[in-house]
Amino acid sequence: MRSNVDVIVASSSPAAVPAKKVTTSVPIVFVNVFDPLAIGLVPSLAHPEGNVTGLSSTSAELAGKRLELLKQLVPGLKRVAVLSHPATPSNAKQLEGAELAGRALGIEIQPVPVRDPNDFDAAFEAARGADGLLFLDIALFTTHRDRLVALAATSHLPAMYGYREMVEAGGLMSYGVSFPDMYRRAATYLDKILKGAKPADLPVEEPTKFEFVINTRTAEALGLTIPRPLAMIADQMIE
Domain ranges of the chain: 8-58+178-208, 62-176+211-238
Instruction: Check residue 190 and give its pLDDT.
Output: 96
Q: What is the pLDDT of residue 207?
A: 85
Q: What sign results for the dihedral spanned by CA atoms 172, 175, 181, 183?
A: negative
Conformational region of residue 113, where left means phi above 0, alpha means psi within -120 to 50, and beta covers everything else: beta
Tell me whether the CATH fold assigned to 8-58+178-208 matches the one assigned to 62-176+211-238. Answer: yes
Reply yes or no on whether the pLDDT at 14 is more than 90.
no
Q: Compute the radius of gyration of the chain from its Cα atoms.
A: 19
pLDDT of residue 12: 84
Under CATH, to which class is 8-58+178-208 assigned? Answer: alpha beta
Q: State whether residue 134 is helix, strand or coil.
A: strand
pTM: 0.83
Buried b (16+ CB within 10 A) or exposed e, 50-87: bbbbbbbbbbeebbbbbbbbbbebbeebeebbbbbbee
Question: Over the stretch 32-43, which tens digit does the pLDDT of each residue have?
Answer: 888 898 889 999
Q: What share of the chain is helix, strand, coil (3-state, %, to 5)?
A: 40, 20, 40
Residue (of 73, 107, 72, 89) closest to 30 by Cα position: 89
CA 149, 152, 158, 162 torsion-angle sign = negative
The class level of CATH for 62-176+211-238 reads alpha beta
